[in-house]
């Protein structure tokens, strides 16, 4: 599904290296957790995978389903099944949530050569998916994320994911700002989407989320490099010992 090979990247105009040779292979059906301290490059990785501007890839490559991902525009990536659940979902005044969802879904379908979904079919789909995430009709009537609480924003991201049914889900600190009930709800929504042909990258600081979304592999990111990989028990070890061991060579 995803092959990241020796990925080096820096922030545009700053010449500051953020990623220093990441290697990661994610197969269909797998859930990979990426953990690491602040500033280790976790969010940068998620932005580079989803196509945000402002980064220079200085070396390496990223193959998605065998194609060069970095060559594609953000909307092309989305249409091909890449989805980023944002750490800080953006509020967009004036754009109605339902209109946004419908335009997004139909743009993706169009790009894939599928027919557009009719309004009744679309409404049915959203109703079904939103009920499971405890998202009210009232929330759906508001502009995209406007006036949503932190937890509502995260649930709205998972709703988008459920409606768009991507192949590769990247969850960037989806647990941040969630209380335990919201966390369970979000994790349940994510788990529902686990399937043999879908892969997930779960970026998080804390092990807590991984109690609910159990990963196949855990990677520790430090200074833009994966310094250790292991099974889910690695997350528990990190919870006990912290990241000190992996950032030890700091000056």
> Which residues bind to other proteins, rule: CB under 8 A?
50-53, 73-75, 77-79, 83-84, 86, 89-90, 92-95, 99-100, 103-105, 107-108, 111, 143-144, 160, 164
Q: Between 11 and 92, whose beta carbon lies closer to other proteins?
A: 92
Distances (CA, A) of 56 to 6, 29, 59, 226: 14, 30, 9, 19
Shortest spacing between CB 126 and other proteins, in angstroms:
14
Q: Between 17 and 164, whose beta carbon lies closer to other proteins?
A: 164
Shortest spacing between CB 180 and other proteins, in angstroms:
28
Tokens of 147: 């006036």
Q: Between 33 and 78, whose beta carbon lies closer to other proteins?
A: 78
Q: Between 121 and 245, whose beta carbon lies closer to other proteins?
A: 121
CB environment 81-100: b (16+ within 10 A), e (fewer): bbbbbbbebeeeeeebbbee
Shortest spacing between CB 105 and other proteins, in angstroms:
8
Among all chains, which residue has been given the structure tokens 């009537």?
A: 141
Tokens of 139: 């929330």
Q: How far apart are CA 72 and CA 168, in angstroms?
A: 15
Shortest spacing between CB 75 and other proteins, in angstroms:
5
Q: Between 15 and 73, whose beta carbon lies closer to other proteins?
A: 73
Short-list 192, 222, 181, 182, CA closest to 36:
222
Short-list 200, 198, 205, CA closest to 216:
200
Shortest spacing between CB 91 and other proteins, in angstroms:
9
Shortest spacing between CB 58 and other proteins, in angstroms:
21
Report helix, strand or coil for 67.
strand
Q: Between 26 and 84, whose beta carbon lies closer to other proteins?
A: 84
Q: Are 139 and 152 in contact (CB under 8 A)?
A: yes
Instruction: Give the DSSP letter of residue 75.
Output: H
């Amino acid at each position: 599904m995803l092959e990241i090979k020796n990925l080096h990247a820096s922030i545009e105009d700053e010449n500051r290296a953020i990623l220093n040779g990441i290697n990661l292979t994610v197969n269909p059906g797998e859930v990979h957790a990426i953990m690491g301290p602040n500033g280790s490059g976790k969010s940068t990785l998620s932005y580079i995978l989803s196509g945000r501007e402002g980064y220079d890839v200085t070396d390496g490559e990223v193959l998605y389903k065998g194609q060069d991902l970095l060559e594609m525009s953000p909307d092309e990536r989305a249409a091909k099944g890449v989805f980023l659940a944002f750490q800080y979902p953006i509020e967009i005044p004036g754009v109605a949530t339902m209109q946004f969802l419908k335009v997004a879904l139909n743009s993706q379908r169009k790009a894939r050569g599928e027919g557009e979904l009719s309004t009744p079919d679309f409404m049915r789909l959203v109703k079904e998916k939103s009920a499971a995430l405890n998202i009210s009709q009232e929330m759906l009537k508001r502009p995209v994320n406007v006036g949503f609480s932190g937890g509502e924003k995260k649930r709205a991201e998972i709703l988008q994911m459920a409606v768009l049914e991507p192949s590769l889900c990247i969850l960037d600190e989806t647990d941040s700002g969630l209380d335990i009930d919201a966390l369970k709800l979000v994790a349940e929504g994510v788990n529902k989407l686990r399937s043999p042909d879908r892969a997930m990258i779960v970026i998080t600081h804390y092990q807590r989320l991984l109690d609910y979304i159990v990963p196949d592999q855990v990677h520790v990111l430090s200074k833009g490099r994966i310094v250790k990989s292991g099974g889910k028990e690695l997350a528990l070890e990190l919870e006990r010992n912290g990241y000190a061991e992996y950032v030890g060579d700091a000056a």
